[in-house]
Protein backbone atom coordinates (compact mmCIF):
# COMPACT_ATOMS: atom_id res chain seq x y z
CA UNK A 1 0.00 0.00 0.00
CA UNK A 2 1.59 3.30 -0.93
CA UNK A 3 1.61 6.16 1.58
CA UNK A 4 -1.08 8.19 -0.17
CA UNK A 5 -3.45 5.20 -0.27
CA UNK A 6 -2.69 4.52 3.38
CA UNK A 7 -3.54 8.12 4.29
CA UNK A 8 -6.74 8.01 2.22
CA UNK A 9 -7.82 4.79 3.96
CA UNK A 10 -7.02 6.31 7.35
CA UNK A 11 -9.25 9.33 6.63
CA UNK A 12 -12.24 7.21 5.60
CA UNK A 13 -11.50 4.74 8.42
CA UNK A 14 -11.52 7.37 11.17
CA UNK A 15 -7.94 6.78 12.34
CA UNK A 16 -7.47 10.41 13.45
CA UNK A 17 -8.22 12.17 16.68
CA UNK A 18 -7.72 15.68 18.01
CA UNK A 19 -5.71 16.92 20.94
CA UNK A 20 -6.32 20.40 22.31
CA UNK A 21 -3.76 22.79 23.79
CA UNK A 22 -4.95 25.53 26.18
CA UNK A 23 -4.28 29.20 25.50
CA UNK A 24 -4.22 31.38 28.62
CA UNK A 25 -5.22 35.03 28.90
CA UNK A 26 -2.57 36.65 31.09
CA UNK A 27 -4.85 39.36 32.52
CA UNK A 28 -7.44 36.91 33.89
CA UNK A 29 -5.32 33.75 34.14
CA UNK A 30 -8.10 31.87 32.37
CA UNK A 31 -8.07 29.42 29.50
CA UNK A 32 -9.90 31.43 26.84
CA UNK A 33 -9.16 29.33 23.80
CA UNK A 34 -7.63 26.04 22.66
CA UNK A 35 -5.73 24.95 19.57
CA UNK A 36 -6.88 21.75 17.86
CA UNK A 37 -3.93 19.54 16.82
CA UNK A 38 -4.52 16.42 14.75
CA UNK A 39 -2.99 13.00 15.55
CA UNK A 40 -2.96 9.80 13.51
CA UNK A 41 -3.56 6.57 15.42
CA UNK A 42 -1.95 4.18 12.98
CA UNK A 43 -3.14 0.57 13.53
CA UNK A 44 0.43 -0.77 13.18
CA UNK A 45 2.84 2.14 13.61
CA UNK A 46 1.03 3.70 16.58
CA UNK A 47 0.73 7.43 17.10
CA UNK A 48 2.05 9.50 14.20
CA UNK A 49 2.80 13.21 14.58
CA UNK A 50 1.30 15.68 12.09
CA UNK A 51 4.81 16.80 11.13
CA UNK A 52 5.12 13.33 9.54
CA UNK A 53 1.87 13.26 7.55
CA UNK A 54 0.65 16.86 6.99
CA UNK A 55 3.26 17.45 4.23
CA UNK A 56 2.02 14.34 2.34
CA UNK A 57 -1.60 15.33 2.98
CA UNK A 58 -0.83 18.75 1.48
CA UNK A 59 1.07 17.52 -1.59
CA UNK A 60 -1.56 14.85 -2.35
CA UNK A 61 -4.56 17.13 -1.78
CA UNK A 62 -5.85 14.82 0.97
CA UNK A 63 -5.50 17.76 3.37
CA UNK A 64 -8.89 18.91 2.01
CA UNK A 65 -10.93 15.92 3.33
CA UNK A 66 -8.66 15.59 6.39
CA UNK A 67 -8.99 19.32 7.09
CA UNK A 68 -12.79 19.04 6.78
CA UNK A 69 -12.77 16.29 9.38
CA UNK A 70 -10.57 18.37 11.74
CA UNK A 71 -12.78 21.44 11.34
CA UNK A 72 -16.03 19.51 11.82
CA UNK A 73 -14.72 17.57 14.81
CA UNK A 74 -13.31 20.72 16.50
CA UNK A 75 -16.63 22.55 16.03
CA UNK A 76 -18.68 19.55 17.21
CA UNK A 77 -16.53 19.09 20.32
CA UNK A 78 -16.61 22.79 21.22
CA UNK A 79 -20.41 22.90 20.87
CA UNK A 80 -20.77 19.82 23.07
CA UNK A 81 -18.81 21.52 25.90
CA UNK A 82 -21.07 24.55 25.59
CA UNK A 83 -24.17 22.35 25.59
CA UNK A 84 -22.87 20.77 28.81
CA UNK A 85 -23.00 24.24 30.38
CA UNK A 86 -19.24 24.87 30.42
CA UNK A 87 -17.78 28.36 29.86
CA UNK A 88 -17.61 29.21 26.13
CA UNK A 89 -14.21 28.78 24.48
CA UNK A 90 -12.78 29.67 21.11
CA UNK A 91 -11.37 26.71 19.21
CA UNK A 92 -8.45 27.46 16.86
CA UNK A 93 -7.96 25.29 13.78
CA UNK A 94 -4.84 25.20 11.57
CA UNK A 95 -5.56 25.71 7.88
CA UNK A 96 -3.22 24.79 5.02
CA UNK A 97 -2.80 26.87 1.86
CA UNK A 98 -4.32 24.04 -0.18
CA UNK A 99 -7.56 24.21 1.85
CA UNK A 100 -7.74 27.99 2.03
CA UNK A 101 -7.21 28.57 -1.69
CA UNK A 102 -9.89 26.05 -2.70
CA UNK A 103 -12.94 27.72 -4.28
CA UNK A 104 -15.20 25.76 -1.95
CA UNK A 105 -13.39 26.76 1.28
CA UNK A 106 -15.92 29.30 2.56
CA UNK A 107 -18.73 26.75 2.01
CA UNK A 108 -16.76 24.09 3.84
CA UNK A 109 -16.38 26.32 6.89
CA UNK A 110 -20.07 27.27 6.78
CA UNK A 111 -20.95 23.59 6.52
CA UNK A 112 -18.88 22.72 9.62
CA UNK A 113 -20.59 25.53 11.57
CA UNK A 114 -24.06 24.46 10.39
CA UNK A 115 -23.47 20.77 11.13
CA UNK A 116 -22.28 21.51 14.66
CA UNK A 117 -24.49 24.46 15.51
CA UNK A 118 -21.40 26.24 16.91
CA UNK A 119 -21.49 30.03 17.01
CA UNK A 120 -19.02 31.30 14.37
CA UNK A 121 -17.56 33.64 16.99
CA UNK A 122 -16.20 30.56 18.79
CA UNK A 123 -14.09 29.51 15.79
CA UNK A 124 -10.70 30.94 14.86
CA UNK A 125 -8.70 29.88 11.82
CA UNK A 126 -4.88 29.92 11.95
CA UNK A 127 -3.18 30.93 8.72
CA UNK A 128 0.55 31.36 8.08
CA UNK A 129 2.18 34.52 6.74
CA UNK A 130 3.35 32.74 3.61
CA UNK A 131 -0.20 31.54 2.87
CA UNK A 132 -1.49 35.12 3.18
CA UNK A 133 1.22 36.55 0.94
CA UNK A 134 0.69 33.97 -1.86
CA UNK A 135 -2.32 35.77 -3.22
CA UNK A 136 -3.08 38.75 -1.04
CA UNK A 137 -6.20 40.05 -2.73
CA UNK A 138 -7.84 36.64 -2.81
CA UNK A 139 -6.84 36.00 0.81
CA UNK A 140 -8.39 39.28 1.97
CA UNK A 141 -11.62 38.57 0.04
CA UNK A 142 -11.91 35.04 1.46
CA UNK A 143 -11.19 36.26 4.98
CA UNK A 144 -13.77 39.02 4.68
CA UNK A 145 -16.43 36.50 3.56
CA UNK A 146 -15.78 34.45 6.69
CA UNK A 147 -15.49 37.56 8.90
CA UNK A 148 -19.05 38.42 7.86
CA UNK A 149 -20.15 35.14 9.41
CA UNK A 150 -18.24 35.98 12.61
CA UNK A 151 -15.22 33.68 12.15
CA UNK A 152 -11.91 35.14 13.38
CA UNK A 153 -8.35 34.73 12.12
CA UNK A 154 -4.88 34.39 13.60
CA UNK A 155 -1.50 34.54 11.88
CA UNK A 156 0.41 31.42 12.96
CA UNK A 157 4.22 31.16 13.29
CA UNK A 158 4.41 34.96 13.10
CA UNK A 159 7.88 36.32 12.47
CA UNK A 160 9.16 33.34 10.47
CA UNK A 161 7.59 34.12 7.09
CA UNK A 162 8.54 37.19 5.16
CA UNK A 163 6.42 39.79 6.90
CA UNK A 164 5.06 42.30 4.47
CA UNK A 165 4.22 44.83 7.15
CA UNK A 166 2.31 47.14 4.83
CA UNK A 167 0.08 44.19 3.88
CA UNK A 168 -0.51 43.18 7.46
CA UNK A 169 -2.85 46.09 8.09
CA UNK A 170 -5.13 44.95 5.23
CA UNK A 171 -5.83 41.53 6.72
CA UNK A 172 -8.80 41.19 9.09
CA UNK A 173 -6.72 39.41 11.74
CA UNK A 174 -7.59 39.22 15.45
CA UNK A 175 -4.37 37.67 16.74
CA UNK A 176 -0.68 37.31 16.02
CA UNK A 177 0.90 34.07 17.26
CA UNK A 178 4.60 34.66 17.98
CA UNK A 179 6.48 31.61 16.72
CA UNK A 180 8.02 29.42 19.39
CA UNK A 181 11.52 29.82 17.93
CA UNK A 182 11.61 33.34 19.43
CA UNK A 183 10.48 32.08 22.84
CA UNK A 184 12.86 29.18 23.52
CA UNK A 185 15.90 31.40 24.28
CA UNK A 186 13.95 34.47 25.35
CA UNK A 187 15.63 34.66 28.76
CA UNK A 188 19.20 34.65 27.38
CA UNK A 189 19.02 36.08 23.87
CA UNK A 190 18.65 39.86 23.59
CA UNK A 191 17.84 39.65 19.87
CA UNK A 192 14.91 37.31 20.54
CA UNK A 193 13.72 39.63 23.31
CA UNK A 194 13.92 42.56 20.89
CA UNK A 195 11.91 40.70 18.24
CA UNK A 196 9.27 39.59 20.73
CA UNK A 197 8.91 43.11 22.16
CA UNK A 198 8.60 44.50 18.62
CA UNK A 199 5.87 41.97 17.65
CA UNK A 200 3.92 42.78 20.83
CA UNK A 201 4.08 46.48 20.11
CA UNK A 202 3.14 45.88 16.45
CA UNK A 203 0.07 43.92 17.60
CA UNK A 204 -0.93 46.65 20.04
CA UNK A 205 -0.67 49.30 17.36
CA UNK A 206 -2.67 47.24 14.85
CA UNK A 207 -5.26 46.35 17.53
CA UNK A 208 -4.48 42.67 17.31
CA UNK A 209 -4.05 40.41 20.35
CA UNK A 210 -0.62 38.82 20.64
CA UNK A 211 -0.15 35.25 21.84
CA UNK A 212 3.23 33.58 22.47
CA UNK A 213 3.60 29.90 21.56
CA UNK A 214 6.03 27.39 23.04
CA UNK A 215 6.14 28.93 26.52
CA UNK A 216 7.96 26.30 28.59
CA UNK A 217 9.27 28.15 31.67
CA UNK A 218 8.14 30.59 34.34
CA UNK A 219 10.99 32.88 33.35
CA UNK A 220 9.71 33.12 29.76
CA UNK A 221 6.23 33.78 31.10
CA UNK A 222 7.42 36.66 33.30
CA UNK A 223 9.31 38.30 30.42
CA UNK A 224 6.22 38.03 28.21
CA UNK A 225 4.00 39.47 30.92
CA UNK A 226 6.41 42.37 31.55
CA UNK A 227 6.42 43.16 27.84
CA UNK A 228 2.62 43.29 27.58
CA UNK A 229 1.92 39.99 25.80
CA UNK A 230 -1.82 39.21 25.94
CA UNK A 231 -1.92 35.42 25.90
CA UNK A 232 0.34 32.36 26.16
CA UNK A 233 0.37 28.74 25.02
CA UNK A 234 2.94 26.06 25.82
CA UNK A 235 4.12 23.13 27.88
CA UNK A 236 4.50 25.40 30.96
CA UNK A 237 0.69 25.40 31.16
CA UNK A 238 -0.27 22.23 29.35
CA UNK A 239 0.72 19.90 26.56
CA UNK A 240 -1.90 19.22 23.90
CA UNK A 241 -4.40 17.02 25.77
CA UNK A 242 -7.42 14.78 25.14
CA UNK A 243 -10.86 16.46 25.06
CA UNK A 244 -11.96 15.06 28.44
CA UNK A 245 -8.99 16.84 30.09
CA UNK A 246 -10.17 20.17 28.60
CA UNK A 247 -13.66 19.37 29.89
CA UNK A 248 -12.28 18.88 33.42
CA UNK A 249 -10.25 22.09 33.21
CA UNK A 250 -13.39 23.99 32.16
CA UNK A 251 -15.44 22.39 34.93
CA UNK A 252 -12.73 23.42 37.44
CA UNK A 253 -13.28 27.07 36.56
CA UNK A 254 -16.73 27.10 38.15
Q: Which of residues 29-68 bind Mn ion (CB under 5 A)?
A: none
Contact between 143 and 116 under an 8 Å Cβ cutoff? The reply is no
Binds Na ion by CB under 5 A, chosen from 156, 192, 230, 231: 156
245 C-beta neighbours (distance < 10 Å), count:
15
Q: Rounded to the nearest whole angstrom, what is the least distance from the CB of residue 233 to Na ion in the complex?
A: 9
- Per-residue x/- marks for Mn ion, 81-110, CB under 5 A? -------------x----------------
Residue 157 binds Na ion, judged by CB under 5 A: yes
Q: List Cβ neighbours of 2 (8 Å cut-off, separation of 6 or more).
A: none
The one of Na ion, Mn ion, ligand G, none whose footprint includes residue 216, by CB under 5 to 8 A per kind, is: ligand G
Q: CA 99, CA 15: separation in Å to the nearest integer?
A: 20
Rg (CA), the chain: 18
Residues 6+ apart with CB under 8 A from 170: 136, 140
| 72 vs 106 by CB, closer to ligand G | 72
Q: What are residue 37's phi and psi, to 5 degrees? A: -130, 120
Nearer to Mn ion, 68 or 157 (CB): 157
Residue 156 contacts Mn ion per CB under 5 A: yes
The residues of the shown chain that bind Mn ion, judged by CB under 5 A, are 94, 126, 156
Amino acid sequence: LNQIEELRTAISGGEFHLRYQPQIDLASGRMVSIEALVRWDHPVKGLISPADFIPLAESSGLIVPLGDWVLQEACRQNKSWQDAGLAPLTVCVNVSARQFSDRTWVCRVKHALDLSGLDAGCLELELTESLLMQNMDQAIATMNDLRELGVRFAIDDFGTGYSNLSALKSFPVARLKIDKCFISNLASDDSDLGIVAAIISLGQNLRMKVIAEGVETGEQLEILRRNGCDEVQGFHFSRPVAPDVIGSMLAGHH
